[in-house]
Each structure stands twice: as C-alpha cells, then as structure tokens.
Chains A and B, each alone.
Chain A
Amino acid sequence: MPTFWDIEFLRIIFPLLLQGAWITIQLTVMAIVLGTLIGLFVALAKLSPIWPLRVFGNLYTWVLRGVPLLVQLYVLYYGLAQIGLLELDAFTAAVVGLSACAGAYIAEIIRAGIQSIDRGQKEAALSLGMTTADAMRRIILPQAIRNILPPLGNEFITSLKDTSLVSVITMIELMRTGILLDVTYFRSMEIYLSVAAIYLLLTTIFVYGIDYLERRFKII
C-alpha cells in the first residue's frame, strides 16, 4: 500500500493538475463572460414589448434550464458531429455548452433584478424625455446590479464547478486530468483530494471577488 500524503507523489501530480486548472479557469471565464452577455440579451428579450422576442426568451430558458447540462454537452459534441451538421472541437463545444446554459440561469437572475426596480424609476426617466433604452441603461440596470450581484455570484460559482462536466467530451481540464492520473497511478484519495483542494481554492477566490464587487456597487 502506497504511503498516504506522499510529498514526492504530490510533486509529480501537481504540475499536471495545475495545467488542468488553467484550462478550467479559461473555460470558467469564457462561460461567465459569454453567459452574462447571453443572459442580458435573453432577459431583455423576455421583458421586451415585441412578442416574438418574448417567445424566444421564454423558450430559451425553458429548454436550457430544463435539460441537464451533461445531456446538452453530449448532444452538442457527439450528436451534432454524428449528423454531420457541425463538428466542434472539444474546447469550442465546452465553451458553447457552458455559456449557453449559464446564460439561461443568468437571464432569469437579470430579469428578476430588473423587475425588482420600482416602476416609478422608469416613469421618472421617461418623463425627462429619455428613450426606453436610455432609461434601462442609465437608471434601471445600474440599480438592478445591486440585486443581481449576489445570485449572479452564486451562478458564477456553479459555472466554475460545472466545468468539471466537460471532462466527458474529452476536454482535459482539472477533473479530467485527475481521472487520467488516477487510471495511471491508482491513488484516488490523494489525486481527488488534490483536485478538490484546487476547486475549493478557485471558488474561494471567486467568493472574495464577488464580495468586493458587491461592496463596490452598494449605494451609500
């Protein structure tokens, strides 16, 4: 039986795990940036006076929140390739899948945040002669951000952890690196605890980042 917490062994696996973690970070950043843009667009679509946009927004959140991300990833990577429609490389498929799904959750968060702002704010903005777009940009969104940030932070942390799912479509990120090391060395405990520790470190950094933003956007 191998020695538990063998420093030498950790020295072997850590550089590889950190490489995986770097991919995880890249996936997370892209997923939350694109997901937030998608979420903002879908949220505005859901609140639009134009009904086809509303239908699109509602369909989008209905499907992408209603189907497990794991299943979405299989369809996106293996399904599309099988029917020859679109052969995505693993990284692209991962980014698309993660951000599309995060976008659906973020859309709901942003929609709720916008709707939490008193109607009188929009009326006051309009009565100055602002367009609806100006009122949204200058008056409503800056206030909605306060209400949006805490649940948005939660969603970012979920997105980070959800990147572990793309290990099933051959993305060699942190989780997949761990699995590959395990089948090589058969030292599951050390490997997966190391993986867990790195995820925990990353989510902790996130929590502090969000905390900082919340304090920055707080209205005096």
Chain B
Amino acid sequence: MIQLKGIHKRFDHLEVLKGVDLEIQEGEVVVIIGPSGSGKSTLLRCINCLEKIEAGEIRFNGQIVGMIPTEKGLVEDRKEKIAKLRSSLGMVFQNFNLFPHLSALENVMEGPVTVKKMKRAEAEALSRNLLHKVGLADKVDVYPNQLSGGQKQRVAIARALAMQPKAMLFDEPTSALDPELVGGVLAVIKELAEEGMTMIVVTHEMGFAREVADRVVLMDEGQIVEIGTPEEIFSFPKHQRTIDFLQSIL
C-alpha cells in the first residue's frame, strides 16, 4: 500500500534520512523504533508531505505521490493532489494539535465538514460514533483545555478517523502523556489494529510494539538498521546497533 524507496531528507546541513526503503502492506501494522534523532518522525512526516524529500520516491497504492520526478528533479505535486493524499492518511501527532477553539465534537467534525463537504448532521453522527468508540462519549461538548492528555490524544485519533483514512500514521502518540494515561491511548490504537487498519506507528513503547506490530523497524542515524517480526527484533536481534538500542532502553 505504501512504498518508500531511497528516501533522502536534509535540514540545512543535517542529513536526517539517508536512503530509506520500506514497504507497508494493506492491513499491516509497522512500528518504527529507534533512538531520538534517528529520523523516525521525519520519515512519517515525509509520507504525508509535511516535509519535502530531496530524493527517492513515495508510492501510495502504486501511484507516486508528494514529490514528482521531472527533468528538473523532484517537484512538489499539485496542491489538490497532496490534499487528497493527506485526507486518505490519518495523522496523529505527539502534541495532539487539537483545535483549541473547537469542542471535542467540532474537532472531529472539522475534517468531514470542511474537506469532504459532508452535511453537518451526517458529520455529527459520524463524529459522535467515533468519540464513543475512543471512549469519550461523555466529552463531546468539552473543549480541549478541559481534557487530560490521554483524552486529547483519543479525540485526535477520532479526528483523524473521521476522514475515513486508508492508513493511519502515529507520530509518538504517547510520548507527551503522563505514564498512567498511556494505556488508554494504546488500547485505542490496538483496537484499530485488530480491525485491520493499516498503520505506521513511531513509538518508544516497546511492550506495545511487541504486542501489536506485524513488523518492527529499527532506525538509527537516518537509516533502517533492521526489520523483522517483534520476536526477531526483541528476542533475536541481529545487528549490534539494535542490541545496543534495546539495552539502552531496558
């Protein structure tokens, strides 16, 4: 479903991604782990064009998306095409990025109403369902600043799901949460995985990775070091860098 080939990305003089190849099948849950600054989040942001890649190609259902190769090198795709791609990829951010001027319900309705031009009544029914699904049926009319971090992140997940995306991208969804709130958010993500949602999850939660991932990707210094099943990565790591990383966090 999503194919990444030779992805390069630099910020000024810092090369953050040094040629990343990765393929994600439909219905697959890929968890990306690795030390801070290894390029995990940047890779995720490149997939939905929040960052522009300098080389390589990203394919979504076979189609090259985002940066299109031309004679003059890679050129950003038409805005409507990028917007269309983004609406089929749900993104969940580390810092939630809920819209503070809108209630939980309005946050979830915003995408369908503004982007899909869905009727308000229809969008509201859909959004109420999604908030119910993430366990926040009683918080529909509450504003983000009255929600806990875990509740905010669950609203953010519902907001992304409201676009009925083909795949979900999670950028360290629990890193900004107090430890006791992490479980609730992971439970929601796990439930999505069980429903067969295609997902890429960048996380530091190793227990979650072990339990939910179909494949685990270890990134370090802008490259993929090792890819394997959770068992292969956590129990029988092959590369020294994987072993070092796992030791450093346990």
A binding-site residues for B, Cβ under 8 Å:
118, 120-121, 123-132, 134, 138-139, 142-143, 219-220
The CA of A111 and the CA of B71, in the complex, are separated in Å by 37
CB B127 to nearest CB in A, in angstroms, measures: 13
Q: Which residues of A contact B90 (CB under 8 A)?
A: 127
Report whether B97 and A124 are in contact in the complex, using a CB–CB cutoff of 8 Å.
yes
The CA of A2 and the CA of B218, in the complex, are separated in Å by 93
Report whether A219 and B115 are in contact in the complex, using a CB–CB cutoff of 8 Å.
no
CB A190 to nearest CB in B, in angstroms, measures: 50
Q: Which residues of B contact A125 (CB under 8 A)?
A: 99, 110
The CA of A199 and the CA of B201, in the complex, are separated in Å by 62
* Majority secondary structure of chain A interface residues (helix, strand, loop or mixed): helix
Per-residue interface assignment for chain B, residues 70 to 105, with 1 indicating a CB less than 8 Å from any chain A CB and 0 otherwise: 000000000100011011111101010111110000
B111 at the A interface (CB under 8 A): yes
B114 at the A interface (CB under 8 A): yes
Report whether A123 and B93 are in contact in the complex, using a CB–CB cutoff of 8 Å.
yes
Per-residue interface assignment for chain B, residues 130 to 152, with 1 indicating a CB less than 8 Å from any chain A CB and 0 otherwise: 00000000000001011000000
CB B105 to nearest CB in A, in angstroms, measures: 14
Report whether A120 and B95 are in contact in the complex, using a CB–CB cutoff of 8 Å.
yes
Report whether B93 and A130 are in contact in the complex, using a CB–CB cutoff of 8 Å.
no
Report whether A128 and B111 are in contact in the complex, using a CB–CB cutoff of 8 Å.
yes
Query: A118 — nearest CB in chain B belongs to which residue?
Result: B97
Whether A131 touches B143, Cβ cut-off 8 Å, given contacts A120-B95, A121-B99, A126-B50, is no
Whether A120 touches B86, Cβ cut-off 8 Å, given contacts A127-B50, A130-B114, is no
Query: B116 — nearest CB in chain A belongs to which residue?
Result: A129
Report whether A129 and B163 are in contact in the complex, using a CB–CB cutoff of 8 Å.
yes
Report whether B87 and A128 are in contact in the complex, using a CB–CB cutoff of 8 Å.
yes
Query: A139 — nearest CB in chain B belongs to which residue?
Result: B99
Per-residue interface assignment for chain B, residues 43 to 77, with 1 indicating a CB less than 8 Å from any chain A CB and 0 otherwise: 00000101000000000000000000000000000
CB B43 to nearest CB in A, in angstroms, measures: 15
Report whether B110 and A138 are in contact in the complex, using a CB–CB cutoff of 8 Å.
yes
B159 at the A interface (CB under 8 A): yes
Query: B143 — nearest CB in chain A belongs to which residue?
Result: A220
Report whether A126 and B99 are in contact in the complex, using a CB–CB cutoff of 8 Å.
no
Q: Which residues of B contact A219 (CB under 8 A)?
A: 100-101, 143, 145
Report whether A129 and B99 are in contact in the complex, using a CB–CB cutoff of 8 Å.
no
